[in-house]
Amino acid sequence: MSTGRKILLLHLGVLATLLIIQFALPPYHHTNVARIMVLAGYAIGYNVLLGYTGLMSLGHAMFFAAGMYGAGLPVYYLGVGAPAAFGIGIASGSALALVFGLMALRTSGPSFLIVSMMFGQAFFLATLYFNEITLGDQGFILSEKLAPLRFGGTALGFHEPAVKYNLALAIFAACLAASLALRLSAIGRVLIGIRENEERTRLLGYDSFKYKLVSLGISGALSAAAGAGYALLFSYVGSTFATILFSIYPLLWALLGGIGTVLGPLVGTALMFYLVDTVSGVTSSYLLFVGAALIALILWFPQGILGTARSRWLPWLP
């Protein structure tokens, strides 16, 4: 079997599995997996920037939240329909990412990290400052305002678990496909060149600023898609999602699953989600266990789970 074939089958297999297990999952896990899929879309967006391009950001929550507010505010105030709101959410996140990139990409390495964190914090504080519109950390609920999706005569309400699950799957599939296509494209190769050695890539005739900006735009768009999807599917918008914690989460998910692997973000998000879920059922100090898990990860799987799998057993894994 050719490598291209194997890659295609693996990713289609993952999506098919996610499609099928919804019929077997008990209700509690059904909702969890829907949530994981949307959040994995966010982690995929983060991974495009960190894993493929080598830029570590601590402000990504602003893109997730831009998607969330971009979708949520028009629904809440203007009664905009879900598809248009989703589109506005993605557009908000991408536009923010590009404007941010034009300024922040003058820096790199640790300076980029700091600058992204500052922008992220500024965004978070703005959501509090404009609390007459955003309702600050109290947030607002969309379920009353959001019209169901209509296909001919059938109405699909967002409160129905099956609708939630399959739309979450669609968002995840779109993010996964975009990430895989980017990874295998000529642009993806240039981004990896920049990650490995930016100076050398530039001397090969690539304008690295332009490529980093493209990468940031795609990363912002995917993060915003996840944010918009999260707002619409789980019906809540609030500034908690713009806090620095929500910038750190995708970093941890991507690290755990394997940065620079296409499926790593899904694996990392799912594991971390269930780790927190299981441990917090036992003790309130669940962060202690998360920390221990991360130390174990750094000690034994520094490349993350799929990163380690790739270097040990599956060299073809994208």
Partner 1 sequence: MAALAPLLATQALCKHFGGLAAVRDVSLEVGQGEIRAIIGPNGAGKTTLVGMICGRHAPSSGRIVYGGRDITRLRPSERLRLGIAYTFQVTSIFKGLSCYENVALPAQRPLMRGFAAHFAPGEAAIAERVRAALDAVGLGGLAGQRADELAYGHQRLLELSMALATEPRLLILDEPTQGLAEGEIASLCELLRRIARQATVLLIEHNMQVVLALAGRVTVMDAGEILAEGTPSEIEGHPAVQKAYLGR
Instruction: Please report, as ranges, the residues that interact with partner 1 according to CB under 8 A.
Output: 181, 185-187, 189-190, 192-193, 196-197, 200-207
- Cβ proximity to partner 1, 56 vs 156, nearer residue: 56
Closest contact distance (angstroms) between CB of 145 and partner 1 is 38
- Percent helix, percent strand, percent coil in the chain, to nearest 5: 75, 5, 20
- Cβ proximity to partner 1, 29 vs 189, nearer residue: 189
Q: Which two tokens stand for residue 301?
A: 């799987």
- Cβ proximity to partner 1, 29 vs 202, nearer residue: 202
In the three-class reduction of DSSP (H, G, I as helix; E, B as strand; rest coil), residue 178 is classed as helix
Closest contact distance (angstroms) between CB of 72 and partner 1 is 32
Question: Which residue pairs, CB below 8 angstroms and at least 24 apart, start in 269-277?
Answer: 269/36, 269/39, 269/40, 269/43, 270/33, 270/36, 270/40, 271/305, 273/32, 273/35, 273/36, 273/39, 274/32, 277/32
Angle at 261 between CA 249 and CA 268, to 5 degrees: 35
- Chain-centroid distance of CA 127 in Å reads 20
Helices 61-73, 208-234: crossing angle, 10 deg rounding? 50
DSSP class of residue 185 equals S
Phi, psi of 72 (to 5 degrees): -75, -45
Distance CA 178, CA 48 (A): 10
Closest contact distance (angstroms) between CB of 8 and partner 1 is 14
- Cβ proximity to partner 1, 185 vs 283, nearer residue: 185
Closest contact distance (angstroms) between CB of 183 and partner 1 is 12
Closest contact distance (angstroms) between CB of 216 and partner 1 is 16
- Cβ proximity to partner 1, 35 vs 183, nearer residue: 183
Closest contact distance (angstroms) between CB of 191 and partner 1 is 11
- Cβ proximity to partner 1, 18 vs 191, nearer residue: 191
Element (H, E) at 140: strand 140-141
Q: By C-alpha distance, which of 52, 34, 10 is closest to 269?
A: 34
- Cβ proximity to partner 1, 80 vs 190, nearer residue: 190
Closest contact distance (angstroms) between CB of 308 and partner 1 is 15
- Cβ proximity to partner 1, 56 vs 163, nearer residue: 56
Angle at 48 between CA 89 and CA 87, to 5 degrees: 15
Q: Which residue, chain included where needed, has tokens 């530039």? A: 202
Q: Which two tokens stand for residue 205?
A: 């005739």
Closest contact distance (angstroms) between CB of 316 and partner 1 is 10
